[in-house]
Chain A
């Protein structure tokens, strides 16, 4: 493997683009995410040969085929487990895990949970389109209650999972959100995830124009985005729209919307985003329209001791091998052994 500190030849978006024809439906949000990643990687200064995209199954999981890096399109839901093996074998690899709401939160929810709590040093991009696309439009674990689909013609009755809240609950130390078509915010968020030592979890609201078109329009459409999105910045007061802000309702742990200038409210009354505050991150993850704006950007970033699973495991290997690689011949001759001498009688 090329050492990580080797100077990188300047690369361009083209260098990260494979020769395979992209086969998503016209207008799919996946195109925007692919373009953002291909644009971003040269700026991150990473090397193609040290970069690995690992995915599960679903529309989004075709992503690795379009990247001119190493890539592994695995089986449904299991990408976190495969990626764990990749990092255990070679912690130096820069791994991106591509998954969707069905792949990551339904069939693979268990693996995603354990990946997040183990805090492997890799990036997870969860493409959330609130629908099963590749199997033609069944409802997903992030579909809203009442979702009519081929498998729920009378509407779904189960409550959706909130991916960011799930990730926080699993012990994730970096949780962020971005919108597929907002390239600037998406690239900034993915860049932060990449910088993070540990699992950088990024949920991307991704439009499926065929089976769930406009699922996020109520907060991503150009005319409403400013009023319906709370763009988070660490250390900055939580403002959105022209004059709205969020504050803690006095005497409670609830967040309420206030209007600046009304009833003597000033910016000093607003909550200030502290991305290292886990309790606040939970409150932000659970803000939902129409009552509240959707929080986007980095909800939570707290490296803690900075210990990642694979580094911890390799540190143990290093301690175990402090005196060199063990000699199996010696090991097998330890303990109670005995020698049978050749029979002198033949």
Chain B
């Protein structure tokens, strides 16, 4: 915490920013606690970024270290671009949560523990021989020991709940206390509880009572020395209308916006997969907005149904994660070969195989760009922030329909679940890109092309006079009929490549996000590393280093000025959450000596990690 002022406990201490991590059993409701705290924080006018971190098991055995679920929120009176490197405050609901998370807590940080869960059994499950609360091992932290379990049971006693159900409200008690500590309003949570438990007002009232009891506890209890309540002034955000948004929500809304701007009905074919499922859920609730959602029998059927829908004049969409993308590859080839529009959202997660389903990674880049049989080019985009998922989803729809091509939009588990304040766009102010189906039979064949975009005509079943057949066999350039001719295949392969390469004429030039357009070091990133790289470069520049940051959102084709930009720097550093993928593409496409920096830990980069690497690069 960056402290500005007084130490008085009677009035709030003014601080500039804080990182809080809520940690508990996967059944303790930490995700809800964190997201409710974030919601209230956004309404208070702070900028924020969140990092939910949960196990792949829905309810791992209680009290175990592998069942620990965490939610980190970073909020401040200034721009926030990452969920924060290390927490200033750790809330540990049980010994396992303490064990897993303590190593990240800053020295001198505030540690809130629920002593009620520090039973001999739980201590043993977490691997403690004796309680760390009593042996002095936590002396480096400001420890706040509260029997949250007991206080929660007392608070909800009037509602006559069973013991198990009553204890569930301890996350709300904790939230109430944290809201007092950091001066958050409880209204949004109260409102949310009333809505969530509309059919069971007694449960709603019990949770609200727990929330209020936690808050009252903060107001009245004697706090140990060194523990204050804090105030974080509003951040100076650009004027406008804001809300919190996660990447998957923004992706779903962007797809809807794209469909409306294109004047097309959407058909989503999807199969449940972590961490992409919430796109399916969100869109399934938006049938009123021009989307039909279809939970298919598998990943292949999901993409094939989307392709069938595009063939019939809707825009087919499919959402998935790495293992699903693997299953869809043959169908992607069909969409490339038949030149049908299609949007594929790949919310990347740790791989290979089942990998780390709930952890983030950027390791599908090469697969998205190159991973199909045959010469099989398609457009690949990557969103860099939760809010950017909206913009890039709209862009995916625009390019897919204008160029009659599949587009893969890469996001990742971090973007999918992470929330940030987002200036809500005005659809009415966005440029529409209406699709014109082919109607005229004169001179028609299914692969007749627009001379500029090289896109083929989109002729939809139901149109008289345009009856035609398409398929995955090679077709004649001049008639669209099946062709096994050698020269024709060469020509068609080149045309498909030229069409996708031509998209480079229709996308923004690569901008330098921060710094000059030449210098000692260019840090090139893509995807969700945006915030960490941006802050690291900011730090390095404040220290006088000649470093700049460029963040690529168009992965294939890349902006046409990118090669020149890379060559204007002495060194190029490419931080990625994979074992080196963008760096391979940059080296092979542009013959530059780009160097990789790789973190494959299922966790986002920390700012300090990248800043240290920037310094190391410039010292050598």
Q: Contact residues of A with B, CB < 8 Å?
A: 1-2, 18, 20, 47-50, 52, 54, 64-65, 67-75, 78, 80-90, 92-93, 110-111, 113-114, 313-314, 316-317, 320-321, 323, 325-326, 328-329, 331-333, 335-343
Contacts and interface: CB of A to CB of B under 8 A. Distances in A.
21 contacts: A49-B462, A49-B466, A65-B482, A74-B307, A74-B334, A78-B331, A82-B304, A82-B308, A85-B304, A88-B308, A90-B314, A90-B461, A93-B461, A93-B462, A111-B301, A114-B297, A317-B292, A328-B427, A336-B42, A338-B243, A340-B242
A37 B119 CA distance: 76
- Nearest first, the 6 closest Cβ-Cβ pairs linking A and B are A85-B308, A73-B471, A1-B462, A81-B304, A85-B305, A71-B469
A85 B311 contact: yes
Q: Which of A2, A64, A75 has the most CB of B within 10 A?
A: A75
Contact of A75 (B302, B467, B472): B472
B427 A70 contact: no
A141 B208 CA distance: 61
B314 to A, nearest CB: 4
B267 A89 contact: yes
Given A74-B472, A89-B309, A333-B243, A48 B467 contact: yes
B133 interface: no
Contacts of B550: none
B253 interface: yes
A314 B244 CA distance: 32
Interface in B315-372: 316, 330-331, 333-334, 338
Contact of B467 (A68, A87, A113, A341): A68
Contacts of B236: 343
Contacts of B242: 337-340
A325 B471 contact: no
B257 A81 contact: no
B29 interface: no
Contacts of B428: 329
A89 B314 contact: yes
B88 interface: no
Nearest to B482: A65
Q: Which of B253, B257, B334 has the most CB of A within 10 A?
A: B334
Contacts of B308: 54, 72, 81-89
A288 B456 CA distance: 51
Contacts of B290: 325-326
Nearest to A19: B481
Contact of A336 (B243, B425, B463, B481): B243
A326 B259 CA distance: 12
A328 B461 contact: no
B555 interface: no
Contact of A73 (B243, B269, B469): B469
Contacts of B331: 75, 78
Contacts of A110: 297-298, 301
B290 to A, nearest CB: 6
B188 interface: yes
A268 B620 CA distance: 100
A95 to B, nearest CB: 9
A320 B288 contact: yes
Contact of A85 (B260, B267, B288, B468): B267
A186 B301 CA distance: 30
Q: Which of B289, B297, B331, B334 has the most CB of A within 10 A?
A: B297
Nearest to A339: B241
B43 interface: yes
Contacts of A87: 308, 312
A85 B188 contact: no
Given A325-B288, A326-B288, A78 B461 contact: no
B468 A70 contact: yes
B256 A18 contact: no
B238 interface: yes
A72 B287 CA distance: 27
B562 interface: no
A89 B260 CA distance: 16
A49 B464 contact: yes
Contacts of B313: 89-90
B613 to A, nearest CB: 34
A166 to B, nearest CB: 15
A326 B286 contact: yes
Contacts of A64: 469, 471
Interface string B21-57: 0000000000000000001001101000000000000
B300 A78 contact: yes
A194 to B, nearest CB: 17
Nearest to B44: A338
A180 B471 CA distance: 25
B427 A329 contact: yes
Contacts of A86: 308-309, 311-312, 461
Given A81-B305, A85-B311, A86-B312, A332 B253 contact: yes
A71 B468 contact: yes
B331 to A, nearest CB: 6
Interface string B469-486: 111110000000110000
B243 A337 contact: yes
Contacts of B296: 81, 84, 114
A52 B308 CA distance: 11
A265 B306 CA distance: 57
A78 B243 contact: no
Nearest to A341: B239
A70 B307 CA distance: 15
A206 B172 CA distance: 68
Q: Which of A65, A339, A340 has the most CB of B within 10 A?
A: A340
Contacts of A20: 469, 481-482
Nearest to A49: B464
Given A89-B314, A313-B294, 5 more contacts: A70-B469, A74-B307, A328-B427, A340-B45, A340-B240
A129 to B, nearest CB: 21
Given A74-B471, A78-B304, A111 B243 contact: no
B289 A336 contact: no
A328 B260 contact: yes
B62 interface: no
Nearest to A85: B308
Interface in B212-261: 236-244, 253, 256-257, 260
B85 interface: no
A74 B301 CA distance: 12
A90 B313 CA distance: 8
Contacts of B469: 18, 20, 64-65, 67, 70-73
Contact of A332 (B334, B424, B464): B424
B450 interface: no
B13 interface: no
Nearest to B234: A340
A114 B304 contact: no
A67 B471 CA distance: 14
Contacts of B256: 328
Nearest to B287: A320
Contact of B243 (A82, A314, A323, A335): A335
A320 B482 CA distance: 43
Nearest to A3: B462
Contacts of A317: 287, 292
A81 B460 CA distance: 18
